[in-house]
Amino acid sequence: MLKFVFMLAIILSSVAFTPYVFGQDLKKATWLETATVVYDQKLSKSVTATITLQTINNNEIQIPDDLLKKILSHKEIVFVSISNQGECVMGVSDDKQCIMINFDLVALKKDGGITTVQTDGRSISDDLISDLNQTFGTHAKFHSVWIDSSTGENKFTSTIPGHGGGLVTVAYTMPKYESNVLFQHLTNKLISHEIKSAGGFYDVAEKLANKSESIVSVTIVQDQKIPLMMLTVSHNYSGLDDISQINPLHFFDIDELQRTEYFKELFVPLNSIIQIVIFPETPSKIEAVNIKKIQELTTVQDVSEKGWFFVSTSYDKIDARFLFGGEKNVSADELIMKVKPETSSNEQFSVEDIRVGDQNDEGQYAILAIIIVAAIGAALFYLKGYKRSH
């Protein structure tokens, strides 16, 4: 469960990427496609590759209005999800999959105790589960209420927007579907034909779902006004030792990544993103990339050409976002990055020092400031003005 929430937090960080200055300059689209590759050399020694398709428009991911209104009416809810990840909560066997209604512990508890948490969490969830079963085409039955009240630096749940620290999960289970079956089942019910026929990251998600032991999820993230709806497909590769060369498309088994044709009439360079997150075993930095570095995101010109934007340049966590600019595709070779150990006493490296290809462009760009913004807030600001029509 913690791994699921951790990946959700990383996915949401890619939503928190749209600078406020673009409000009047760029076209707006509610559909966002993201390819995320997390290199965890420090703890799990693995790579997790994920495709995320997300929107606030329920004509694109077709969640009924009545269900969304019910979720919005319960401010204690953090997110709702269906997933075939094994052991979604403790005590669920690996041959089951779950629908999970997840609550903020503090908000759900109010002035009561554990009994209040269990009673109120179960009551709210029972009111939702028939609608969720109908929406997802499932027959999930109640399993348990699971409470995680832990806190601290390793508590990933605190990174979810609106979440106060602890998490309460009311789990409903059903027989587990293979990922390719679950993907087809959910996308046939939920994803519009216009999206499915437009290719792009959707096609990669479908291919990833065919891998053995991949994980498919649909998640509805709570917000004050408009929920964020997401379809994610992820696959974990164990045995990560060397991070000296980063080749993200390798983990999707593709040589080129194309944007969706859904955007063919729009200039929406921030709606297709490749996110690379690296947790190195020892302090490390990016030595070289094969394509330009983007200094800042303040004007349309900054995103008119494809390149890398660095959100975090910490030696302990590197977070880079690739933007397509006006291009429709990117090759695997263009996305290759070189990483090397760092012995400096500084806390982060300078983007100025990153080489582009074989050329040393020292001094070409000013050092990049790290941007940390609220994940859902920035996305909703960027997409403001949309009114649900479904």
**Token pair listed for 190:** 């939920």
- What average pLDDT does the segment 38-59 reach? 96
Q: Are 216 and 179 in contact (CB under 8 A)?
A: yes
Return the bridge partners of 174, or none. Answer: 97
pLDDT-derived band at 386 (thresholds 50, 70, 90) equals very low
- The three-class DSSP label of residue 121 is helix
Look at residue 258 and give its three-state secondary structure. strand
pLDDT tens digits, 299-338: 888 888 899 999 999 999 999 999 999 899 999 999 999 9
What would the two tokens of residue 67 be?
């269900």
Residue 74 predicted with pLDDT over 70: yes
Look up the pTM and report it. 0.85
pLDDT of 381 reads 41
What does the pLDDT look like over 88-143, one tens digit per residue?
Answer: 898 999 999 999 999 999 999 988 888 999 999 999 999 999 999 999 999 999 99
pLDDT tens digit sequence for 325-382: 989 999 999 999 999 999 887 889 999 999 998 543 333 333 233 332 333 344 444 4
Residue ranges covered by each domain of the chain: 18-62+191-348+373-385, 74-177
Report residue 385's pLDDT band, with 50, 70 and 90 as the boundaries: very low
Residue 147 pLDDT: 92
Torsion sign (Cα): 42, 44, 45, 47:
negative
Listed residue (88, 9, 21) closest to 277, CA to CA: 9
DSSP 335: G
Average pLDDT estimate for 289-304: 88
pLDDT at position 162 over 70: no
